Structure 1
Amino acid sequence: KIEDALKTKVAEEVEIFIPATQRKERRWRFFIVVDGERKVKLGKPISKEESLGYPTSYTLQAGGVKEEETGEFIICHPPMHMRLAELSELMEKVAAVCWSEEQLHKLANSKYVKSRSAPIVKQWIRSVLDDDEMVDSFVEFHSKARCRFTCWDQYTNERYRNEGARIDYILVDKKLFSSSARRGIELHSPSHMDPYSAEAAAWACTEGGRWVAAPFEGGGIQDGPEETYTCQFRAPS
């Protein structure tokens, strides 16, 4: 049923009112048709450029780019894969099945949910670690850490659900790491939380709620107080 509905997906221009500016603006939004007659909105209003830049949103089809020199099609989004948040929305709007936050959390940490990174990116990082004999210093020091991401889609406020990706790496020569690396202070988290838990990671990415989500009606991300910026600088152990 979801596959059939996704075949009808289109991006349409809509007019929305922006309270922050007290003006109406044009945005784009994804729509699908359910059961051949019911038109359903998906996601949040986005700009035209973003609608064109998100061809892999709400789809089970493969997506990728064509390599200019060789003409090879490089898969960035494997077929029959979808972000959990999008699948949850479709389950509710198409199949009338609403997953609770607890159920979503269990799914996110299950064997059925895999990294959203493009296969070619995972192959490259694996070749660097194995063939070039490098180590991922964060993983070596914090192998049990869960959900410690470094990048989130700010437009859809994914930071505040801690739905992100880890795109920052410090890679070190394996021999140098073995001979000279020294573990520093523990991961940033409140004293009552396991620093390796997903709960602590969610707390850290918003600094316990100090980073405030951007309103969807416009206005941008709210600036944080100075201590929110400086909390990352802590005394070494």
Structure 2
Amino acid sequence: LAERHPDLVLRCQKEGHEIGTHTYDHRPVDSLTREEFRESLGKSCDILSNITGERVRSHRAPMWSLGRDVDWMWEELVEAGIEVDSSIYPIESYLFGDSSAPRHPYIIETSSGSLLEVPPGTVTWLGKRMALGGGGYLRALPYLYLVASLRNWDNERKPEPPELPETAEYQGEPVVYIHPWELDPDHPDLPLEGKEKRVHWIGVKTTHSKLERLFRNSASLSFRRAFGLL
């Protein structure tokens, strides 16, 4: 997309959005060799940097595809200049997740340096970790659940965050994520079947209005502002 439509990347940047990388070809990290991941990550960072004139500092692995078997990814991210990552979903699902992972930002140390891991928002209901809202969860879950989850998050006792730059504005806000196609109920149909098709299309028609209501009642900020990536 960035190669074909650099104007869209520049528009996002101009409107204040963080320009991070999701790798070049959206292949799951746990399906790649270390060399393949390095190439995909480097290519995407080069393309985005050439468009924006800024170094890429944040990353999320495609499909949350990071497990304990690909620890080398952290070193590759640090060596590529990534400072903030959001690839570990601290829940269990049929596709991804690690319920033993921390729910709040923490530092990952590597032989090449360190980076900040910022998990997507989760809440605990009846002793079970649940997604707060994002992607398919944001589309499928009722708006009142999202409001209750945000209230739950705001009221819980949180650990002290890692030491951040003085310019960081982070105050314990949860990470909520969205894909552009989830805001467009008229996007092209994909060759999906069964459960995959149902999950892909669920709630697409109401996602935009849900987000509008959330943003009317909740402030938001980019990773760059939250974690002082200036």
Return the structure number with greater relative CO, CA threshold 8 A, min gap 6: 2
When normalised by structure 1's length, the TM-score is 0.26
* Greater radius of gyration (CA): 1
Bigger share in strand: 1
Bigger share in helix: 2
